[in-house]
Amino acid sequence: MGELTDKVAIITGGGRGIGRNIALTYAREGATIVVAARTVEPLQETCAEIERRGGRAIYLRTDVAAEADCERMVERAVDAFGRVDILVNNVGIAGPTAKITNITLAEWQESIDINLTGCWLASREALKRMAAQRSGNIVNISSLAGRVGYPLRTPYAASKWAMIGLTQSLALEWGREGIRVNGICPGAVAGDRIEQVIKARATASGMTEEAVEQSIVGRSAIGRMVTEDECARVALFLASDASAGITGQSINVDAGIAMS
């Protein structure tokens, strides 16, 4: 028996990166998986891999910033599998890398809409089902940028700081209903996403890409970036009974960068 046997988990942004790893990890532990995002092909690949390993999964094309899409996402999950036990709010965008004076209102709004409002909308719809069950888990993927100031990334940082406040507020609001809400704050995560971040910061700051990468890794207590799998294992812990006494927390998975 896996740690999530008979659970149904919705994972937004489940086609790539941390979201994909969480989907595969949850499926390995017995959960039935619903992955949702705007781009279908990566979702199909995640589902195919889960099914190849003997699990069950479906994908839903979803724009989490659209209210109707979030409503439909939860409804289809319930129609397919009868319940929703876990929601992982993972989908997010990096937003612009520039000084605030060079960022447009549209760029700001897009980051807030997807990273924060999408988390709020998906949580609202899932909580309606979880409240009826009197059980459930929400895991919000924030960022180390939600803990410390992040120059040149103000829309991203603001959205991720706000996710931590949302996590704590929902935990207090729904704890007596048997629902726990926690978060994860990844630092620099090895993979395609951080490579894009490094390139954008190098362009905006005039530094070389190597210097930007070293400025990140050099602050790590263990001398490296974290992995997607390391983040996924914390997400498994937070969604499982092993963390039954934990709610309202946002756990850093950052290789010790926050201590520097």
User: Mind spelling out the 3-state secondary structure of the chain?
Assistant: CCCCCCCEEEEECCCCHHHHHHHHHHHHCCCEEEEEECCHHHHHHHHHHHHHCCCCEEEEECCCCCHHHHHHHHHHHHHHHCCCCEEEECCCCCCCCCCHHHCCHHHHHHHHHHHHHHHHHHHHHHHHHHHHHCCEEEEEECCHHHCCCCCCCHHHHHHHHHHHHHHHHHHHHHHHHCEEEEEEEECCECCHHHHHHHHHHHHHHCCCHHHHHHHHHCCCCCCCCECHHHHHHHHHHHHCHHHCCCCCCEEEECCCHHHC
Q: Which of 26, 59, 150, 156 is catalytic?
A: 156
Residue 26 among the catalytic residues: no
Distance of CA 104 to the CA centre of its chain: 25
With vertex at residue 237, the alpha carbon angle to CA 55 and CA 175, rounded to the nearest 5 degrees, is 110
Q: Residue 243 CB: number of other CB atoms within 10 A?
A: 18
Q: Which residues are catalytic?
A: 156
